Copies of this chain bind each other. A is one copy, B any other.
Amino acid sequence: MATAELKLTKNQRLVLDLLCSSDAPMSAYSILDQLRSEGLRAPLQVYRALDKLIGLGVVHRLESMNAFVACAHPSCHSVEMVGFAICETCGKALEFADNDIAEILSGWASANGFAAKSTSIEIKGTCASCQQAAESASGAE
């Protein structure tokens, strides 16, 4: 986790550390619940910290889930193109990046006069391990 050197406020640090320690994306309200013991009381405190962390590029928002996840590559703070493969079974999100896609998209944007600020790519489906689990379960029936 290369986020230690970031200068963050207490609330921002709490939220980021929690997301880093989670193995799956979390909703704002489950973040809040986890941090009540640390003194957080209201949704806004979480949303404000998330806004800042997203701005810094160390947290991403999964649009299709209303959930948030720590960036898998905290050293490269590129907010430009981020992709996630989200498993609908276990809820985990695999982050990926692809330069070719980024180039195609920016090509499309400039061809259409669209000034792109950020791009999100989200693939929904089933991850490898959940597929295997499903197979062995159906085989064992």
Contact = CB atoms under 8 A, between A and B. Distances in A.
B105 A123 contact: yes
Stoichiometry, copies per complex: 2
B116 A124 contact: yes
Interface stretch (A3-11, A34-42, A43-51, A93-101): A93-101
Nearest to A96: B108
A123 B128 contact: no
Interface of A: 63-64, 83, 85, 87-88, 94, 96, 98, 100-101, 104-105, 108-109, 112-128, 131
A73 to B, nearest CB: 16
A100 B121 CA distance: 14
Nearest to A100: B104
